[in-house]
Structure 1
Amino acid sequence: MSAFNTVFGETDCHQCGEKGQFEVQFKYGSTWQFEYKLGDKIKWGGNDKGKPEYKKVLVEGFGGPCPHCGANGIEFDVLIENNQIISIKAIGFERPTETDDGYVLLE
C-alpha cells in the first residue's frame, strides 16, 4: 500500500463479533500517514485522494488485529461525511467489489 492514513476506533469484529479498538488504514484526503480517531476532520492540501467538497463518502479500509480473537487483514468501510470521520465497520476478509479510486461517493 502506498501513502495512506490511519483511523483508530471502536467497532465490532467481523470474525468473533466482539467490540474492540481497531487500527484501519485508508486512502482519502491528504494521504501522508496522518493518524485520526473517529470524529476527526480530514486534512487536505497534500497528496490528495478524493475531493473536500464531497459530502458523503464510503472509503475502503484495511486493518486489524482484533484485540479479542486476533483476526488480522480485515476489510473495513470508513464513512466520511462533510470531511469528518463518522464510523468504521468491519466487512470481512475480502471486499466483494473494489473501486479504482478506493472510495464510493454516496452524496
Structure 2
Amino acid sequence: MGAFNMLLLDNLSCPACKTNQDWVIQFKYGLCRQLEYRLFDAVEWAGYMDTGDTTAKIVLVEGIAENDCSSCGQEVYARIFVDDNKIVAASLVIKPIWFTASDDGDYIIINK
C-alpha cells in the first residue's frame, strides 16, 4: 500500500458478524505519513507526499481495516467521507470499491 494514514474508529460493528470492536483503517488521502485521524479531524496537507486534491469539496475515500474482524475473521473495508478537507463520516463494509486505472488512488471526487 505504500505510505498511508490511519482513521481510528471506536466501538463499531463488523459489517459481517455485527460484533463491536475498535478499528484502525488505513487510507491514502492528504499528507500520507502514517498520521492518525479521528472523525471530524481536518486532513493535513504539506505539498509533498500528498495524495488527493486539496480543493475538492466532497470526496469518497476507500480504506481497509488494519486487521480482519477479531470475531469472524472477515476482511473489512471502509468508506470515508471528506467534506471540505474534514473527515465527516465513515462506514464499514465487506466489498471494496473497484477503481478504474484512470483513477488517482483510492478516492473519488464527488464534488469539486
User: Which range, TM-score by smaller chain?
Assistant: 0.7 to 0.9
Contact 1:4 1:33 in 2 (8 A): yes
The corresponding residue for 1:50 is: 52
What TM-score does the superposition give when structure 2 sets the normalisation length? 0.82
- The structure with more radius of gyration: 2
Aligned residues of 1:38 and 1:86 also touching (Cα < 8 A) = yes
Distance 1:50 1:4 in 2: 12
Question: In percent, how many aligned pairs have the same letter?
Answer: 30
Flag structure 2 segments of 5+ consecutive residues without an equivalent: none
Contact 2:30 2:44 in 1 (8 A): yes
- Could you list the per-position Cα deviations for residues 29-52 of structure 1 after superposition, in whole angstroms to 9, with x for gaps in the alignment? 011111111111100013111111
Q: Quote the residue 2:28 is aligned against.
A: 27
TM-score (norm 1): 0.85
CA-atom RMSD in angstroms: 1.8
How many residues were matched structurally?
Answer: 105
Q: SS where residue 43 of structure 2 aligns?
A: coil
Kept in 1: contact 2:69–2:75 (CA 8 A): no
Structure 1 gaps, min length 5 = none
